[in-house]
Chain A
């Protein structure tokens, strides 16, 4: 799949996403500049994490009005895949492509820590590699991840099943102590009504290889580019990503490890180009 990663002044997770898409999942990946007006026929558009425009005004607000966003909006409205990670999620909110808004974290601090997430639905391309209710571990790194909307809007969001990931404890239970940034209803990631646009605060691209000791994020990016695999339903995806958790690697190896959980999935995706 042709994947475009939009680079804004201040993006700093763009190369991480590129690495996973290009080298781990072996997709055609390219950088798109925020002042471009074309997505160059990319099928998947990723708005990466970082501090676009120095978080001026509100995080993501300046980027949401940059020239490329008109094309991103058209792509999203046509059903194209748009994934916003961290600052990219904030942009999608500011652009109105996803509902809600972000406030400063509850403790007013920048949080850089691993959290647990519960998969609330697995019928999206992005989440079809997980089991419903599965608990994932992913890093967060943000100061404005405190998701908020009106109670009526949140009720509607829940009713429509647009909450995709929630902050939970290691056992998968919603708990105030596991909701570090103070998000309403522990919301970590939401999609639009159609399910083609996903935004989340945690960073799947930072935990997408067994060599890093955590491959939990790979299935999300693999789903974004391939999911579900042709002729394969959710069960076969799950078979690919289930299995033993990889042991933390002892040394860095530039060659993607195909032996572990994330590695098997990467090999399956890379080997089934459309």
Chain B
């Protein structure tokens, strides 16, 4: 995804909350063990989204991303959201 000249590019990472059972991560963890990766202690399976957006300022972009996470990208009951800024 190309950097938007007048915008921001962020990566949103969504993972199951620590206290919520992550059956997908557990299944992958078990499979890694079965094929010989004995050192694997834990796998968490999540999702990643790259979002490019236009905003007047980084603060405004940040606020919009927070709302996206709450309203759609993550379900706060079972998932945590974190944000990586890929542009300034």
Contacts and interface: CB of A to CB of B under 8 A. Distances in A.
Interface of A: 57-58, 61, 65, 94, 100-101, 103-106, 108, 148-150, 153
A106 B23 contact: yes
A101 B23 contact: no
A109 to B, nearest CB: 10
Most central of A57, A105, A108, A149 by chain B CB within 10 Å: A57
> Nearest 5 pairs between A and B by C-beta?
A101-B77, A101-B78, A101-B75, A108-B23, A104-B23
Nearest to A103: B78
A100 B23 contact: no
Contact of A94 (B16, B27, B47, B75): B75
A61 B75 contact: yes
Interface of B: 16, 20-21, 23-24, 27, 47, 71-73, 75, 77-78
B75 A108 contact: no
Contacts of A106: 23
Contact of B77 (A61, A105, A149): A149
Nearest to A107: B23
B21 A103 contact: yes
A103 B23 CA distance: 9
A58 B75 contact: yes
A2 B21 CA distance: 42
B67 to A, nearest CB: 13
A65 B75 CA distance: 13
Most central of A58, A61, A104, A106 by chain B CB within 10 Å: A58
A101 B23 CA distance: 15
18 contacts: A57-B73, A58-B75, A61-B72, A65-B72, A100-B77, A101-B77, A103-B16, A103-B20, A103-B78, A104-B23, A104-B24, A105-B23, A106-B23, A108-B23, A108-B24, A148-B20, A148-B78, A150-B77
Given A58-B75, A103-B16, 18 more contacts: A57-B72, A61-B72, A61-B75, A65-B71, A65-B72, A100-B77, A101-B75, A101-B77, A103-B20, A103-B78, A104-B23, A104-B24, A108-B23, A148-B20, A148-B78, A149-B77, A150-B77, A153-B77
A272 to B, nearest CB: 41
Nearest to A104: B23
Nearest to A60: B75
Contacts of B71: 65
Contacts of B24: 104, 108
A261 B27 CA distance: 45
Contacts of B75: 58, 61, 94, 101
Nearest to B74: A58
Contacts of B72: 57, 61, 65
